């Protein structure tokens, strides 16, 4: 079983739609949680950190459920420019990143 699991997609949604991604992690000692965005043939870029209290950044909302070892990302009012692969990432006690396989999002006109 992979340490961080994501549905690979692709999720094909129309502009303006709301889309949600989920991620589960197996290491209960994981300490920090992030969503990264990766465009085709580019480096991953930090989208947002994820906290148990939930956090929002514009159209993006992230949530962490430590009891269920579950992380979510909600994107509202999808834009064409949101098309990318979204990577769920956790860190262990040594602050090393463990990546999920990524979920591909395609937003269509």
Partner 1 sequence: NAGVTQTPKFQVLKTGQSMTLQCAQDMNHEYMSWYRQDPGMGLRLIHYSVGAGITDQGEVPNGYNVSRSTTEDFPLRLLSAAPSQTSVYFCASSYSTGRDGYTFGSGTRLTVV
- Smallest gap, in angstroms, from Cβ of residue 101 to partner 1? 4
**CA dihedral of 28, 29, 34, 38, whole degrees rounded to 10:** -80
Distance CA 48, CA 52 (A): 13
- Smallest gap, in angstroms, from Cβ of residue 47 to partner 1? 9
Please report whether residue 43 would count as binding partner 1 according to CB under 8 A.
Answer: yes
Please report whether residue 9 would count as binding partner 1 according to CB under 8 A.
Answer: no
Distance CA 65, CA 72 (A): 9
Distance CA 55, CA 8 (A): 24
Please report whether residue 31 would count as binding partner 1 according to CB under 8 A.
Answer: yes
In this complex, which beta carbon is closest to partner 1, that of residue 19 or of residue 89? 89
Which of 25, 36, 63, 83 is the binder for partner 1 (CB under 8 A)? 36
Please report whether residue 96 would count as binding partner 1 according to CB under 8 A.
Answer: yes
Please report whether residue 89 would count as binding partner 1 according to CB under 8 A.
Answer: yes
At which residue do the structure tokens 């994820």 appear?
Answer: 50
Distance CA 94, CA 5 (A): 20
Residues lying near partner 1 in the complex (CB under 8 A) are found at 31-32, 34, 36, 42-46, 49, 87, 89, 91, 94-102
């Amino acid at each position: 079983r992979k340490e961080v699991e994501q549905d690979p997609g692709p999720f094909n949604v129309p502009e303006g739609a709301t889309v949600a991604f989920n991620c589960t992690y197996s290491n209960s000692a994981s300490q920090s949680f992030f969503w990264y965005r990766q465009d085709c043939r580019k480096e991953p870029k930090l989208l947002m950190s994820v906290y148990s209290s939930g956090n929002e950044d514009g159209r993006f909302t992230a949530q962490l459920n430590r009891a269920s070892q579950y992380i979510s990302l909600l994107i509202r009012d999808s834009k064409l420019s949101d098309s990318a692969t979204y990577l769920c990432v956790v860190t262990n006690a040594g602050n090393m990143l463990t990546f999920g396989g990524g979920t591909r999002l395609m937003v269509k006109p």
